[in-house]
């Protein structure tokens, strides 16, 4: 299968799409077609576990990887390091609301599902394309991608990994997870700005030909660990299939019966993976896009206008504090009937004026699949309390946004189709805010991160993960910071060290 750039400037193999990360024209790589999973094949998947389903689905996209390579990669990624052998288990909250738990990996967030496998795919991609230079992985992170990428590539031969994160824009646990990372090839740089500025800076680095030449002289080639890299996106498609087959195997839904997925959304990669699963044949009725107060996507699905010249808010759900959702470009490419010139014109308008419009007809088509809503911090805290009181289940602030939006969707549409809430992170990554939501801010005033985590353990019966408990004693190794305009120079300095 070939891969095209959303802006029309490339045709590459799957391994090249993984290796390059981002097309040189600034576009994102997309598959030339969507593989089809028939109902017969889907029924067969119900009889298999996570690894087997992952191997089959990834092989459908990554055709220049052999079956043996895919299977070995999947075994390496989803063997050790998971506190649940199902990798992505589904729990039932109510009769027709289920939660897909994606936080059982080493960094307690959904990014682990893809970033445990990406280093293996990347190393094979380098071999297949004769790339002998050091592969320097860059990641802009709103909180979770950074640590997952650092952990995935830590001490992997022939690579280095640099995470840029917004100073003051992530939770204390997220920051400590990154800045205490071990490994001789890991780098962490705090950006004095927000995530959008960090992400734009990484894209500028990829587009800077003179910087690429300088790195090439040093024997270094850049690649990406963000979901702009198709090697990050493809593994996320898998858990939509495993969630559905899990429900079928348990008799919760019939084979072929539609379900809705509710996805807390910032950079649009996770929900786009659900869209890809639907295009492949998975019986998804609606994809419910849940945003926090930075509700640029809610407005887009309401009026078809993407507008970023608006106030940026820091919220209880920092991984969603994003105004420029990079993966939306892949959806726009499909909405534009794969007209790369039209997508390029929209991206040029976004860069020049901060907005573009897709028109009423295209919006109407998108709204057949997508529905969007949002929750502010007051709504989010209230939803954490409501779900705990009803189901004795503790949601993190991102998943609570999704739960609130699902209630809103059902109230407005009357659609009570069985729904899967995609739970993207452990509540322990946001222990202070979750504890305050459950007990009140006054009750936890003066408590440190670990005290809040211990209270969550008492309330939920779920032990504090060792990954959180140990943070209080780990030394901070990474202290570099920079302005958004100085990210390239900061990268060069880190790589020189």
Could you give the residue numbers annotated as active site? 111
The residues, ordered by sequence, that sit 6+ positions from 111 with a Cβ below 8 Å of its Cβ are: 144, 145, 147, 148, 149
Q: How far is CA 4 from the centre of its chain?
A: 21
**Exposure on the CB side of residue 189, measured as CA atoms within 13 A:** 28
Extract the tokens encoding 349: 């308008």
Length of the chain as a residue count: 497
Dihedral of the alpha carbons of 43, 45, 49, 52, in degrees to the nearest 10: 170
Q: What are the angstrom distances between the C-alpha of 143 and each of 33, 110, 194, 198, 480?
A: 32, 11, 11, 12, 17
Q: Residue 158, class by beta-carbon neighbours within 10 Å (0-12 exposed, 13-18 middle, 19+ buried)?
A: middle
Closest C-alpha among 267, 230, 272 to residue 32: 230
β-sheet bridge partners, residue 224: 138
Q: Does residue 452 contact residue 129 with C-beta atoms inside 8 Å?
A: no
Distance from C-alpha of 233 to C-alpha of 114, rounded to nearest angstrom: 7
CA gap 6, 492 in Å, rounded: 29
CA angle 353, 357, 363 (to 5 degrees): 155
Q: Which two tokens stand for residue 71?
A: 């299977």
Within 25-95, strands assigned E span 29-31, 90-94
Cα separation, 376 vs 317, in Å, equals 9
- DSSP class of residue 96 equals T
Residue 187 in contact with residue 478, Cβ under 8 Å?
A: yes
Chain mean position to CA 240: 13
CB atoms within 10 A of CB 5: 24
Helix or strand or coil: residue 71?
helix
Q: Rounded CA gap, 421 and 431, in Å? A: 20
**How far, in Å, CA of 474 to CA of 179, rounded?**
10
Which residues have CB under 8 Å from 185's CB, separation 6+? 153, 154, 155, 156, 159, 160, 161
Cβ distance 14 to 37 under 8 Å?
A: no
Q: Which two tokens stand for residue 157?
A: 């031969």
């Amino acid at each position: 299968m070939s891969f095209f750039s959303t802006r029309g400037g490339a045709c590459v193999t799957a391994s090249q799409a993984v290796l390059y990360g981002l097309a040189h024209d600034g576009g994102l790589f997309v598959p030339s077609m969507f593989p089809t999973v028939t109902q017969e094949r889907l029924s067969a998947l119900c009889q298999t576990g996570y690894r087997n389903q992952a191997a089959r689905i990834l092989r459908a996209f990554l055709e220049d990887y052999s079956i043996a390579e895919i299977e070995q990669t999947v075994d390496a990624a989803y063997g050790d390091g998971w506190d649940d052998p199902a990798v992505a288990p589904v729990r039932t909250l109510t009769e027709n609301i289920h939660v897909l738990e994606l936080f059982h990996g080493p960094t307690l967030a959904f990014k682990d599902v893809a970033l445990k496998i990406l280093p293996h795919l990347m190393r094979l991609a380098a071999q297949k394309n004769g790339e002998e230079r050091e592969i320097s992985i860059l990641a802009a992170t709103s909180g979770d991608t950074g640590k997952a990428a650092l952990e995935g590539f830590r001490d992997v031969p022939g690579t280095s990994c640099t995470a840029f994160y917004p100073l003051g824009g992530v939770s204390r646990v997220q920051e400590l997870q990154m800045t205490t990372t071990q490994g001789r090839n890991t780098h962490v740089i705090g950006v004095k700005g927000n995530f959008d500025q960090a992400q734009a800076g990484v894209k500028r680095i990829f587009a800077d030909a003179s910087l690429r030449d300088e790195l090439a002289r040093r024997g270094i080639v850049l690649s990406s660990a963000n979901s702009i890299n198709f090697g990050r996106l493809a593994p996320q498609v898998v858990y939509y299939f495993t969630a559905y087959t899990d429900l079928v195997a348990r008799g919760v839904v019939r084979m072929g019966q539609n379900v809705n997925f509710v996805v807390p959304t910032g950079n649009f990669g996770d929900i786009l993976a659900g869209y890809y699963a639907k295009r492949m044949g998975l019986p998804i009725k609606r994809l419910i896009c849940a945003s926090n107060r930075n509700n640029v996507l809610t407005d887009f699905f309401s009026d078809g206008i993407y507008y970023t010249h608006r106030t940026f808010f820091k919220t209880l759900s920092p991984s969603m504090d994003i105004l420029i959702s990079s993966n939306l470009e892949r959806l726009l490419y499909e909405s534009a009937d794969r007209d790369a010139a039209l997508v390029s014109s929209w991206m040029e308008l976004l860069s020049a004026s901060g907005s573009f419009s897709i028109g009423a007809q295209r919006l109407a088509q998108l709204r057949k699949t997508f529905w969007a809503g949002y929750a502010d911090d007051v709504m989010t805290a209230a939803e954490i309390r409501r779900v705990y009181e009803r189901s004795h289940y503790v949601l993190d602030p991102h998943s609570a946004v999704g739960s609130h939006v699902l209630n809103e969707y059902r109230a407005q549409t009357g659609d009570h189709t069985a729904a899967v809430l995609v739970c993207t992170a452990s509540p322990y990554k946001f222990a202070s805010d979750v504890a305050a939501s459950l007990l009140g801010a006054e009750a936890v005033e003066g408590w440190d991160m670990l005290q809040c985590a211990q209270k969550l353990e008492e309330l939920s019966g779920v032990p504090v993960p060792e990954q959180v408990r140990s943070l209080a004693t780990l030394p901070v190794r990474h202290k570099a910071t920079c302005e958004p305009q100085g990210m390239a120079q900061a990268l060069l300095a880190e790589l020189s060290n």
